[in-house]
Amino acid sequence: MMRSIPTSAARRAAAFLALSAPALLSAYYIFSYSIDIPYYDEWAMVPMVDRWLSGHGAWSDLFIRQGGHVIALQRAITILSAELFGWDIRIEILVGFFFLVATALLLIRQAVRTGLFTAPAIAFPAILAVMSVLFGLRQWENLLAPWSINPFGSTFFALTSFYFLSKDVTASFFLILVATASALLASLTFTNGLLVWPIGILIIIATRKAKPLLLITWLAATALCVTIYAVGSATGSAHLVRIGAISAFRGLAVLGAQFSADKSIITGGATSVPSTFIDGGQAIALGLALIAAVAWALWRARHSMSPHAFSISVILFGLGSCAFIAAGRADLGILQSTASRYTSTSGLVVIGLLLLIAELTTKDRTNQFNIGSALVAAVLVSASYGIFAELALGPARRQAMTAWANHIRQYQSAIDADLKNPHYTPEQIRKFSTILQQHKLSVFSRSSDH
């Protein structure tokens, strides 16, 4: 006779499967609907790939600004993908997904470190909501794009830095180096990674770890990073200066769009105007509600910031990143700020808030639980809604990208309307397609399977 599984083991197995479900669903979505074809501003990589495959590449290529961003990690992975795999765009997509998984493991480790799992009734729904946001299909535009390396990689490195800074980092010079190296990688992966430096200073002050070695190392790395961004790029500097022109309404809409789904479809070289299931005004209202919840949680934690340094840092990183988006695209209007790709950023605010409320509730089970329950419910309902909406739209997204890939294969005879791109003319797309064909890359690779 088979022995029955202990109840505790069965519960742990069920909890593991439930917490893994968002990641598994996200992986299914990526494998089902991603296409090996450059699109949108990914075409900017083609000249660099051409130089490297022609033997004329330089390390400075990694630091060329793209839309004001330094995306050295994606550029390095793109070069490796071109050299080893015929530039299969899906390789970069999988690397982005790897960063999501690594971030999930880091967040679970942090939950264990703060003792959340001593109260399973609080920890399980909170972590399930965190995983639902982290792997949410609302961010479909990033899940299906090679540029996912940038937001997902920057988030992982930033949170890794916060994790070690909020520990007793002064006990080991190695930990100081890990925290600093992670901050550097975050900054060289995406522009919002620059936020790690001021937030890191706040962590050091809040946790009373302002030791000379840590401060000197941190400030020196900050100076190095700022220098990398400032030297040789008037475009990058101008982009950063625009932070002073933040649109408050756009920032609120970015936050509120987290709780909706996106009906827009990729149409060849770009996406259509974002079309969420809520309008701009509703997104702003939801953003205000989220800001109010953040303010309440920070007020509750005001007397004990140090134990909550990590979760507060995640909130600040998310808010600062949303401010970057609001400022950097201020001329594009409210509706554009609800784009799917921005929800990966606003999701960090929700994740940090969920962790902070769970930590507060575990230590002091007062009305935090009621507000935390409301937030968990809102997240799970919106995530479920997004799943059903996105699984219905996924085939149409793949169909649109497949059509774009076919136009690129036939670029010599394709009409201009078929090669339309918001950043490049049809003639430029034809030139880039010629380079892909010459080097047998992407859709012209013999190994490419569509």
Which among 249, 244, 246 has a CA at the least distance from the CA of 334? 249
Following DSSP, what letter does each residue of 309-341 receive, concatenated?
HHHHHHHHHHHHHHHHHHHHTGGGHHHHTT-GG
Following DSSP, what letter does each residue of 291-315 receive, concatenated?
HHHHHHHHHHTTT-TGGGHHHHHHH
> What's the pLDDT score for residue 270?
55
Tokens of 252: 């609120």
pLDDT in tens, 434-443: 999 999 999 9
pTM over 0.75: yes
Q: What is the DSSP letter of 183?
A: H
Which among 353, 315, 314 has a CA at the least distance from the CA of 161? 314
- Please name the amino acid found at residue 60: S
Which stretches of 117-257 are assigned E, i.e. beta strand? none
At 144 the three-state DSSP class reads coil
> What's the pLDDT score for residue 242?
44
> What's the pLDDT score for residue 123?
82
Following DSSP, what letter does each residue of 120-166 receive, concatenated?
HHHHHHHHHHHHHHHT-GGGHHHHTSGGGHHHHHHHHHHHHHHHHHT
Q: 115's torsion region: left (phi>0), alpha (psi -120 to 50) or beta? A: left
Question: How far, in Å, CA of 47 to CA of 291, rounded?
Answer: 43
> What's the pLDDT score for residue 105?
95
> What's the pLDDT score for residue 265?
63
Which among 126, 137, 156, 124 has a CA at the least distance from the CA of 16? 124
Q: How many C-beta neighbours within 10 Å does residue 220 have?
A: 11
Question: How far, in Å, CA of 187 to CA of 15, rounded?
Answer: 35
Phi (first) and psi of residue 167, to 5 degrees: -85, -175
Question: How far, in Å, CA of 146 to CA of 433, rounded?
Answer: 18
> What's the pLDDT score for residue 209?
63
Domain regions of the chain by residue span: 39-113+145-230, 232-409
> What's the pLDDT score for residue 220?
83
> What's the pLDDT score for residue 379?
87
- In the chain, the largest separation of any two C-alpha atoms, in whole Å, equals 74
> What's the pLDDT score for residue 237?
44
Q: Tens digit of pLDDT per residue, the chain (450 long)?
A: 344 445 577 777 888 888 899 999 999 999 999 999 888 888 989 999 999 999 888 888 888 887 778 888 999 999 999 999 999 999 999 999 999 999 999 999 999 888 887 777 778 888 999 999 999 998 998 999 888 999 999 999 999 999 998 876 555 778 888 888 999 999 999 988 899 999 988 888 777 666 677 777 888 888 877 777 766 454 444 444 444 444 677 778 888 888 877 767 666 555 555 566 666 678 888 888 889 999 999 998 888 888 889 999 999 999 999 888 887 766 666 777 778 888 899 999 999 999 999 888 877 655 555 777 888 888 888 888 888 888 988 898 898 889 889 999 999 998 988 888 878 889 999 999 999 999 999 999 865 555
